[in-house]
Amino acid sequence: MGRYENCKYFDSMYNATEKCFPNISRYNARTILREVILAPDDYTVEFNDDSYDKHKIMQMLAHALTMSCVKNSPEETYHDVMNNAAEVMKHMNDGYITDEDYEERQDFLEKIDRYEFTLFAAYCFMKTALSDDETLIDEIVLNVLRLREIRDLITNYTRDEKGITTDREEFERAKPIYCMLKSLQNLGYDYNFSPKERESLDIDHEDDEDLSHRFKHENWLKRIMLLQLRQETAATVTDAPAQPEPSYPSEDELSDKIAILRGTYNKRRFDKNRFIMLKNSQEASNKNDENVV
């Protein structure tokens, strides 16, 4: 499975659509997003008696997605991410790994993954819409790289285990990384790992294919949208109430039903001779009654 293809954080795209169009329902937000991603370039999205160019909506979505990853300012968000990464590095390498230490690690990785998916989606919207806002595009790419590097640091230099004791070697290996994260936190938003640091720590993502000019950004959006629709369809089928199994009549019941349709169930067949005999007997009985009177 490729990057992000579990669509775990796809709801961020629906949330961004609602943010751009606050007067529409969740259902209509889903419809707009599907049309924007899957429609041809010359397609016009229409709703609430308004028409929108799909590339215009893509740029709106990119801005909404980017801002959803910002706490109060980009600088404050960067400070928090670096601080949290440093704390995870410290707590996962300072001896016994408690349940709380491990939960802190998992929550942080979850947040990093959500931020990365959200920003990468914003990046693909900007590129597909042929935006000329290179400043925003460069900033998004920088932050995607940062998130990938930090995730690698956490996964490479902390154990994916709890209830164990780390050794002195692990502590010594993690200590300079902790110090580096704290230094970057204090230096501020404009600083990041140096090329030499990225190479030595094996966290370099500068040559990632999906951040290159060769990458098919529009195809990625369509693929993710189709995968999400497949999951939603499967969930709808799974949640549908179970239909009762059809019951079929037994052989005897089937014979009785056929007999009813033929008009012979619990009935005698018409017998002409018996009818004449009963009729003559009734007439004779009537004559006897008249003679008695």
Mean pLDDT score of the chain: 85
Each residue's pLDDT tens digit, 242-259 = 566 556 566 666 566 666
**Least confident range of 38-47, 143-152, 154-163, 266-275:** 266-275
Q: What's the pLDDT score for residue 290?
A: 58
Q: What's the pLDDT score for residue 243?
A: 60
Interior/surface letters 244-279, b for 16+ CB within 10 angstroms, e for the rest: eeeeeeeeeeeeeeeeeeeeeeeeeeeeeeeeeeee
Position 100 confidence tier, pLDDT thresholds 50, 70, 90: very high
**Least confident range of 181-185, 204-208, 228-232, 234-238:** 234-238
Q: Is the pLDDT of residue 1 over 90?
A: no
Q: What's the pLDDT score for residue 2?
A: 61
3-class state of residue 165 by DSSP: strand
User: CB of 66 within 8 A of CB of 122?
Assistant: yes
Q: Is the pLDDT of residue 34 over 50?
A: yes
Q: Is the pLDDT of residue 293 over 60?
A: no
Output the CA–CA distances (angstroms, integers) from residue 36 to 25, 61, 206, 237, 278, in the order listed: 16, 10, 30, 26, 86
